[in-house]
């Protein structure tokens, strides 16, 4: 998972969106910390990272993680975030909404912990607009999920974000990889409604 997520095509997406994070940041599904190099230390005052996989978080270099701002890692899930309401200025989620089992509950939790002035920053692969590709995404997801840590190829990411209390303010979408089945990515930010 670490190697796939470290691919150049994906790193290019991280470089474009992660520097927008501001203030107290919560990263959902921080995994092996591949976004860490792209946080702007002039804008970020602290980072919480949450992930159910201790194994992936143990791959983050340094212990404690060395960044120019405090970093606090938590073992847990996006469906149950151990933070008070309205504590984060930014919630970041990258390549994780595809594999969270209860995505509605996780988005409700992200909404709960975001300050009213805060932003949800997302960068995810998801359902392709082309019928030919999305049909294959639907067919392959049941086979793909058990071997990929629960990843759905076919989730309609922007619809899910909108249906769960957010308004998308900016989004770019398109194929970023020649592997079309997982290559349609959505990158942008949203605010709470």
Ligand X SMILES: C[S@@+](CC[C@H](N)C(=O)[O-])C[C@H]1O[C@@H](n2cnc3c(N)ncnc32)[C@H](O)[C@@H]1O
Binding site for ligand X (CB under 6 A): 1, 5, 28-29, 31, 34-35, 51-53, 56, 77-79, 94-96, 99-101, 149
Nearer to ligand X, 132 or 147 (CB): 147
Residue (27 or 89) nearer to ligand X, CB: 27
- Residue 33: both structure tokens together: 């910390």
CB nearer to ligand X: give 46 or 52: 52
> Could you tell me the smallest distance in angstroms from the CB atom of residue 134 to ligand X?
20
Question: In the bound complex, what is the minimum distance in angstroms from residue 1's beta carbon to ligand X?
Answer: 5
CB of 53 to ligand X, least distance (A): 4
Least Cβ distance, residue 4 to ligand X (angstroms): 7
Closest chain position to ligand X (CB): 31
Judged by beta carbon, residue 55 or residue 117, the one nearer ligand X is 55
Nearer to ligand X, 117 or 179 (CB): 179
Q: How far is CA 23 from CA 52, 75, 150, in A?
A: 24, 22, 31
């Amino acid at each position: 998972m670490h190697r796939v997520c470290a691919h150049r095509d994906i790193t290019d997406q991280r470089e474009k969106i992660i520097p927008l994070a501001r203030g107290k940041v919560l990263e959902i599904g921080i995994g092996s910390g591949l976004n860490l190099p792209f946080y702007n230390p002039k804008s970020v005052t602290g980072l919480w990272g949450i992930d159910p996989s201790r194994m992936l978080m143990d791959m983050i270099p340094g212990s404690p993680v060395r960044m120019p701002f405090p970093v606090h890692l938590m073992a847990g899930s996006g469906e149950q975030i151990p933070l008070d309401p309205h504590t984060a200025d930014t919630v970041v989620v990258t390549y994780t909404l595809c594999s969270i089992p209860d995505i509605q509950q996780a988005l409700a939790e992200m909404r709960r912990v975001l300050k009213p002035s805060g932003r949800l920053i997302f960068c995810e692969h998801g359902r392709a607009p082309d019928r030919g590709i999305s049909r294959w995404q639907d067919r392959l997801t049941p086979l793909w999920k058990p071997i990929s840590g629960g990843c759905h190829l076919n989730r309609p990411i922007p619809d899910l974000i909108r249906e769960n209390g957010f308004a998308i303010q900016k989004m770019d979408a398109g194929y970023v990889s020649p592997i079309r089945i997982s290559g349609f990515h959505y990158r942008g930010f949203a605010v709470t409604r």
